[in-house]
Structure 1
Amino acid sequence: MLDRHPAIQVVGEQQIRIIHNLIALPGAKKEEIREIYSHPQGLAQCAQFLQNEMAHAQAIPFFDTAGAVGHIKQVGDTTKAAIAGVPAAKVHGMEILQEGIESNSRNYTRFYIICREERSAVYRSSVAVNRASLNFTVPDRPGSLFEALLVLTKHGLNMKKLESRPIPGKPWEYSFFVETELGDAGAFETALEELKALCHSIRVLGTFTANH
């Protein structure tokens, strides 16, 4: 979303403990469940439970966890279940067959805090920023991504994350999302100027305070 909406800036992050539950229609029985719906990440995060306790059921990917609960309610079949959080079960009036089924008891998801660009300075004025998020594209030639990342190393910027994403409408072309620490005073700004000379396009998605 951030790459498509330039007026939106990242101004912070929040880590939220994710607890997954097996949810079904009231009266459904765990041993009679034959299909389990959830977002692919939800299914992956509960793989151990699915393998050890629900091997008799088929795991079916769905567009999101809450939507999966709404789907099984609409279908009205007690042999179908969903993996989602407690709020989804409450909203749809469903029953939790088993709580806390995630494989990792320290399962956290990190969310960006975003706001409109004109409000971002107000938010950042109350915190000491130490991290930046970037989105850029590089020329389609050998070593171009390496050269861009080398700039971060040159200026002592510790990269914390690197992802590639397909560019809509441009098959086999990718943009890169980088999260980096800001380093010493002025290091990030200097590196950014050098990156502008190497990249086809570059945008600072935001600067913020990392919680870890």
Structure 2
Amino acid sequence: FRDIFDSVLSGRADRGMVPLENSLSGSIHQNYDLLLQFPDIRIVGEKKIRIVHNLIGLKDAELADVSRVYSHPQGLAQCAQFLEHHPAWEKISFYDTAGSVAHIATVGKKENAAIASEAAANIHGLKILKAGIETNPQNYTRFVVIAREEQAKVPDPNRVSLVFATLDKPGALFSALETLARRSLNMTKLESRPIPGKPWEYMFYVDVALETSPAGFDDALAELKTHTEELRVLGMYRV
């Protein structure tokens, strides 16, 4: 995922798409952290995609040949129930689902399988050994589109994402969130992440629905700054 951020920041790509959360296994924390580490990157869009996971093997492989399964940790987690029926299989985390398919194609051993999409299997000329192995068919992943700050202007945004650290005093988080509630701004997401180098201190990621003009959010943002020691708008976009 860092390569995607690097490509957008360097100009090798105009846009990137990264997952932020899954309806079954929760948040992809690495990408929340990367949003914080790349201050010149903004969120400019959002897309929710239905995820179908498949067990993929070589063309001449059968399910009985499998003894090792590769996938991104999220892919493994989202197929936990299926994998529990095969306790002898070795589960190996990989950097992403499509990459795990490329890996087993390169290695060329029938005992290796990967969990990924049908498209990944087709690209590498491999076979689906078992389709639809995700634990729950209501499996959706929320992706965000990222761009460089100078290309981040979105007409008529209806969602804003921001991150902040509160002041070190009682009720600081309540005061920050109450700033939004008092203006009837609907908070649709709240996520906390540790601050590197500051044990037991946290950044808070918040998504807010903009029901009216984004200009109405400016007043809330100004007050929010008085309750935080660090505040950054990650993006204003449409969903």
Question: TM-score with structure 2 length normalisation?
Answer: 0.77
Equivalent position of 2:13 in the other structure:
none
Matched, 1:178 2:186: no
Shift of 1:184: 4.5
Deviations 1:4-25 (A, max 9, x none): 2232222221122221110112
Identify the match of residue 102 of structure 1 among 128, 134, 138. Answer: 134
AA partner of residue 59 (structure 2): P
Q: CA deviation at 1:196?
A: 0.6
Counterpart secondary structure, 1:102: coil
Question: What are the superposed Cα offsets for residues 22-55 of structure 1, whole Å, 9 maximum, x if unpaired?
Answer: 0112222202312212112111211222234x34
1:59 and 1:208 map into 2 onto residues whose CA distance is 38
Determine the C-alpha separation between the residues in 2 that align with 1:63 and 1:116: 24
Q: Which residue of 1 aligns with 2:192?
A: 164
How many aligned positions are there? 205
Aligned to 1:45: 78
What are the equivalent positions in structure 2 for 1:135-154 lying under 5 Å apart? 135-154=163-182
Q: 2:116 aligns with which of 84, 94, 106?
A: 84
Larger C-alpha radius of gyration, 1 or 2? 1
Report 1:65-80 matches (<5 A): 65-80=97-112
Amino acid of the structure 2 residue aligned with 1:49: F
TM-score normalised by length of structure 1:
0.86
Which runs of structure 1 show a deviation greater than 6 angstroms over 4 or more consecutive aligned residues?
none
CA distance in structure 1 between the aligned counterparts of 2:60 and 2:171, rounded to whole angstroms: 59
SS of equivalent to 1:78: coil
Mean CA deviation greater in 200-209 or 24-33: 24-33
Percent identity between the aligned chains?
52
Using the alignment, how far apart are the partners of 1:170 and 1:134 within structure 2? Answer: 20
Alignment of 1:193-204 (within 5 A): 193-204=222-233
1:24-63 alignment, distance < 5 Å:
24-52=57-85, 54-63=86-95
Q: Is the 8 A contact 1:38 1:65 kept in 2?
A: yes
Q: Could you say what the CA RMSD is over the residues aligned between the two structures, in angstroms?
A: 2.1
Structure 1: gaps (5+ residues): none
Amino acid of the residue matched to residue 92 of structure 1? H
Question: Does the aligned pair in 2 maintain the 1:25–1:77 contact within 8 Å?
Answer: yes
Which sits farther off after the overlay, 75-84 or 183-192?
183-192
CA distance in 2, matches of 1:62, 1:178: 29
CA contact (8 A) 1:138 1:200 kept: yes
Distance 1:76 1:179, change over 3 A: same
The Cα shift of 1:88 comes to: 2.4
List runs of 5+ in structure 2 lacking aligned partners: 1-33
